[in-house]
Structure 1
Amino acid sequence: MDKTTSGWINGFIGVVIFSGSLPATRTAVLQFDPVFLTVARAAIAGLLALLLVLAFREKRPARADLVPLAIVALGVVVGFPLLTALALQHVTSAHSMVFIGLLPLATAIFGVIRGGERPRPAFWLFSLAGSAAVAGFALMQGLAAGAGEGPGEDVATSSTGDLLMLAAIVVCGLGYAEGAHLSRRLGGWQVISWALILSLPAMIVLAIVLMPASFSGIAPPAWTGLAYVSSFSMLIGFVFWYRGLSQGGIAAVSQLQLLQPFLGLALAAWLLHEPVTWTMLAVTLAVIACVAGARRFAR
């Protein structure tokens, strides 16, 4: 199997794993405070990563790798989980899933900046078209809420969730590209493991400080959501994702993320019984078509 094909396979596995992140976060944040959820999932994943590094007796990263690892940690260990958890207090996971359509564009932009990749002009036209579709969807949702409710409180709430999701996409794209660039030297699972370990001391302290007074009222679905985002979303998924980006190219393989909204919408409807409107499906399919075109011109 050639390196490019291996990259696409690893990237696809990562996307499948990540597609369950927002529904799992939505389930967990219904009973866990979003800030506690963020630090708890990072602490649990950090402990698992520490065991993994010790088991394989991995050599410590060089001093020059610490800043890139810190960027990865701030982007995907803290930034994206926290911002999405906060956003999911205002919007459903089905609504937030459409914003994942922006991730290929964000990742590709940072791939150009950090990875030195140079996609053809047509790539950017398709990517920008997909981004415009997502932005238009968010605008229509806000206008519809304002027209239906009147006072404006729901509009503010929807706008807050949309802005938080947009910020999450930016920091996640940076973390993806930085991690993929670094994994060419360290390896995919090593990058996410060291990023988690780097943030582990702070995450453990914050998890203890923010821990609820009692866990007696936490239902099993919330614990399942916490377990999923701690193990799969924070660690296992990145093992495949960073390997795929480094092998197949950041801009090219990042286009696989357009499968994530489709898979996530299906999971949200199946597991959480959330409504999935025709508008959400139409926009998601439009974005998938745009980034599928961008993939053709990624190199």
Structure 2
Amino acid sequence: MKLKDETLGMWLGVLGVAIFAVTLPMTRLATGTTEAPQLSPWFVTVGRAALAGLLSLAFLLATRPPLPQRHQWKPLGMAVLGNCLGFPLLLGYALRTVTASHAAVITALLPLATAAVAAWVLHQRARLGFWVCAVLGSSLVVVFSVLRASQHGHGFSFEWADLMLVGAVVCASVGYVFGAQVTPSLGAERVICWVCVMALPFSLPATLALWPQQPVATSAWVGFAYVGMFSMWMGFFAWYRGLAIGGALRVSQTQLLQPFLSILAAVPLLGEQLDLVTLAFAAAVVATVVVGKKLSQPRVVARPATAGGTA
């Protein structure tokens, strides 16, 4: 692999991660808060899938790829449930209650959760250290959530919004893993396009049925357009292409920037304040992800060198 390709792949990976990072504040802009609601989380969920589905349909008609084979429809369907429905719906409801910075800490577990789901679904054995890191990272998230709840006067409890964020992480990781199963055969960009097109028979009528009847702020529509065009569609083009050009192992490490980029993006977009406690917990969770990803594969036993081999 040429150095130029590695560099391009890395920058495309960073671009994809940056696009995904802004999803949290843009979703909060779209849904509003409990005190000042805007678009309903259900509308944002089906609407962003419908917008991405129409864009995907145009892309597939222009490129004319072959239809997926019968055995590929089930993984694509699981990706629809995880990435098109479960993740955005739970995220939308949670962000009506908690800040984007708060959500960034919990969703920082996504790379670790994806590795855990891959070990379960794809029957990949992971070393004990990986599971220790997974438990440690999850424990940090629980401590952070309980601490935040106590600061907000809710006592030492786990907020419903945090449970929804954990559910969103699980849904996204399931969608990623099943989508990854068919990526080598279908092609990276076509996977997200087929996923979005498969959701169209449900997402498009639901969008029209749930179209808001009350006035909605312009900022909410901007947030909605972003999560439909970029978070649900164009971000995957940059991310998947970066993984293909620069190497998945190297480029995937850029995902560790995502929680910090989400926290930074929430400052100008939502007026949130930089919080040292939030940053510290995000850094601690990311540290468990770094170590956990290194231990996500079983240890490779080196073969002894044979006589006459080259150094």
Q: TM-score range by the shorter chain?
A: 0.7 to 0.9
Kindly state the Cα deviation for residue 116 of structure 1 after the two structures are TM-superposed: 4.8
| Aligned residue-pair number | 289
Residues 96 and 279 of structure 1: CA distance in aligned 2, closer, same or farther (over 3 Å): same
Q: Structure 1: which amino acid aligns with 2:24?
A: L
Residues 291 and 137 of structure 1: CA distance in aligned 2, closer, same or farther (over 3 Å): same
Query: In structure 2, what is the Cα distance between the partners aligned to 1:120 and 1:76?
Result: 28
Larger C-alpha radius of gyration, 1 or 2? 2
Question: Any conservation in 1 of the 2:112–2:292 contact (CA below 8 Å)?
Answer: no
> How do residues 3-82 of structure 1 correspond to structure 2 at under 5 angstroms?
5=6, 10-30=12-32, 31-82=38-89
Kindly state the Cα deviation for residue 175 of structure 1 after the two structures are TM-superposed: 0.5
Kindly state the Cα deviation for residue 228 of structure 1 after the two structures are TM-superposed: 0.7
Question: Any conservation in 1 of the 2:115–2:293 contact (CA below 8 Å)?
Answer: no
Q: Structure 2: which amino acid aligns with 1:181?
A: Q
Q: Which moved more, 1:113-122 or 1:274-283?
A: 113-122
Question: Any conservation in 2 of the 1:21–1:229 contact (CA below 8 Å)?
Answer: yes
Partner of 1:236: 234
Q: Which moved more, 1:11-20 or 1:185-194?
A: 11-20
SS at match of 1:85: helix
Output the TM-score relative to the length of structure 2: 0.84
Partner of 1:106: 113
Question: Any conservation in 1 of the 2:107–2:166 contact (CA below 8 Å)?
Answer: no
Output the TM-score relative to the length of structure 1: 0.87
- Structure 1 residue runs of 5 or longer lacking an equivalent are none
Question: Any conservation in 2 of the 1:50–1:193 contact (CA below 8 Å)?
Answer: yes
Kindly state the Cα deviation for residue 108 of structure 1 after the two structures are TM-superposed: 0.2
Kindly state the Cα deviation for residue 170 of structure 1 after the two structures are TM-superposed: 0.4
> How do residues 256-275 of structure 1 correspond to structure 2 at under 5 angstroms?
256-275=254-273
Partner of 2:177: 177
Q: Structure 2: which amino acid aligns with 1:16?
A: A
Kindly state the Cα deviation for residue 94 of structure 1 after the two structures are TM-superposed: 1.2
RMSD over equivalenced CA pairs, Å: 2.6
Partner of 1:134: 141
Which of the residues 256, 265, 287 maps onto 1:289?
287
> How do residues 142-181 of structure 1 correspond to structure 2 at under 5 angstroms?
142-145=149-152, 148=153, 159-181=159-181
Kindly state the Cα deviation for residue 2 of structure 1 after the two structures are TM-superposed: 6.5
Partner of 1:219: 217
Q: Structure 1: which amino acid aligns with 2:193?
A: S
Query: In structure 1, what is the Cα distance between the partners aligned to 2:23 and 2:84?
Result: 13
Kindly state the Cα deviation for residue 37 of structure 1 after the two structures are TM-superposed: 1.1
Query: In structure 2, what is the Cα distance between the partners aligned to 1:163 and 1:133?
Result: 14
SS at match of 2:109: helix
